[in-house]
Amino acid sequence: MYLADEAWPELEEYFAEESLALVPLGSTEQHGPHLPESTDHTIAEAFAREAAERTGFLCTPTVNVGVSPHHRQFPGTMWVDPPEFRDYVESFTRNLAYHGIDRVVFVNAHGGNVQHLREVGRRVRDDGTAYAVEWMWDESIPELVDEVFEQNGPHGGPKETAMMQYLDGEHVHDDRLEAARDGGVASVADADTVKHGSRTFYDAIDNTDNGVLGDQTDATAEKGERLFEAASDQLVQLCEWLDDQRFEDLLPKDRV
């Protein structure tokens, strides 16, 4: 069920019977010269809608702009500052709780959002409002990602490229894959910006001239579909597990 497509009587029925919602979150930021800036939010929404379709749980509209100031040097990147992002996400999470939702899965596809979603989850859990947990698709199937790609890369690499070839191939520039690889670096380690245990970089451009980390030349839509199906299975299982828990068991333990 997609919240924005429903009228309030149908949503009233859902809230009377169910207490779980999926919230997709991503970013609007550079993903190299070959991928659209919609990459992260397109992927997040696809997973959330797929899991909602399979389970019947509620999917909310997508948060399309995230914490992305580290990509700001590349044209078109949009971002919000971390405090405003946390406050916004916390506010609408409490709004969902007002309607009867007490467990939320943040279906997240942008690494820059992770620590802030975790902080929001702690806030609403600590005061007993809801249990909110962050989920990222590639972290749910790490062995498969490593199996499928020679160099999977953390940003604009083959895993995101394959996923977008599958979900929205029209906006992938397949003719730029080799140039994207050659103008970027394989990994942060290859960028040589970790010095004596310190990460000396703050922005993506400190590591890679074109914003790419990884070798995307072995990405295909077929590989993207395989990853999508496997990670969707993991998200469905997470939702079903979370739905089975007693809410009291999800709250903080008593002080020792």
**Residue 221 included in any domain:** yes
Structure tokens at 192: 């040589």
Across all residues in the chain, what is the average pLDDT? 97
Domain membership of residue 255 (yes or no) is no
Band (149; pLDDT cuts 50, 70, 90): very high
Distance of CA 238 to the CA centre of its chain: 15
| pLDDT of 74 | 98
Where do we find the tokens 């077929």?
222
Contact indicator for 101, 91 with CB cutoff of 8 Å: no
* Spatial separation of the C-alpha atoms in residues 234 and 107, rounded to whole Å: 12
Q: For residue 256, is it within any domain? A: no
Phi, psi of 155 (to 5 degrees): -150, 120
Cα 94 to the chain's mean position, in Å?
20
Q: What is the per-residue pLDDT across 80-106, written as a single tens digit (0 to 9) for each? A: 999 999 999 999 999 999 999 999 999
For residue 152, pLDDT beyond 90 = no
Write out the residue range of the structural domain in which residue 22 sits. Answer: 3-250
Task: Return the minimum-mean-pLDDT range out of 129-143, 185-199, 227-241.
Answer: 185-199
Q: How far is CA 182 from CA 150, 165, 167, 189, 217, in A?
A: 16, 20, 25, 16, 10
Q: Is 152 inside any structural domain?
A: yes
Q: What is the mean pLDDT of residues 41-61?
A: 98
8 A C-beta contact, residue 114 and residue 136: yes
Residue 189 has pLDDT above 90, yes or no: no
Domain CATH number, residue 184: 3.40.50.10310
Residue 89: which of 53, 60, 56, 46 has the closest Cα?
Answer: 60
Tally of structural domains, the chain: 1
Q: Is residue 16 part of a domain?
A: yes
Tell me whether residue 23 is in a domain. yes
As a whole number of angstroms, the distance between CA 18 and CA 32 comes to 40
In this structure, is residue 197 part of a structural domain?
yes
Residue 161 has pLDDT above 90, yes or no: yes
Q: Within a domain: residue 57?
A: yes
